[in-house]
Amino acid sequence: MAGKVLIAEGVATNRILLKARLADACYRPLMAGNGDSCLDMALRERPDLILLDLELPGRPAVDVLGLLRADPRCAAVPVIALAAAGDGAGRRAALASGADEVLTKPVDETLLMARLRNLLRTRSTLSELAERGATMREIGLAEPAAPFELPGRIAVVCDRPDAALRLRKQLATGLRDEILPLSRAEALTEAVDADVFVIEAGQETPGGGLRLMSELRSRPATRHAAVMLLQPAPAVAAQMALAFDVGANDVQTSGIDGPELALRVTRLLAQKRQADRLRASVSDGLRLAVIDPLTGLYNRRYAEPRLARIAERAMRSGESFAVLVMDLDLFKQVNDRWGHAAGDAVLVEVARRLSDNLRGSDLVARTGGEEFLVVLPATSLPEAEATAERLRAAVNRTPIEVPGNPPIAVTVSIGLALAEGRRLMRPNAVEDIVHQADHALLAAKASGRNCIRHSRTAA
State yes or no: is 370 an active-site residue. yes
Query: Amino acid letter at 27?
Result: Y
Q: Which element (helix H / strand E) includes 316?
A: helix 300-317
Integer angstrom CA distances of residue 345 from 295, 340, 393, 409: 9, 9, 19, 12
Return the sign of the alpha-carbon dihedral for residues 286, 292, 297, 302. negative
Alpha-carbon span 358 to 452, nearest angstrom: 17
**Given the residues 9, 200, 349, 370, the one annotated as active site:** 370
Q: How crowded is residue 135: how many other Cβ atoms within 10 Å of its Cβ? A: 14
Q: Check: CB of residue 410 under 8 Å from CB of residue 334.
A: yes
Alpha-carbon span 49 to 298, nearest angstrom: 43
Strands 371-376 and 363-366: antiparallel
SS3 324: strand
Query: Amino acid letter at 98?
Result: G
Integer angstrom CA distances of residue 223 from 170, 214, 218, 284: 26, 9, 6, 19
Q: What's the length of the chain?
A: 459
- Among 340, 333, 327, smallest CA distance to 439 is for 327
Q: Which residues are catalytic?
A: 370
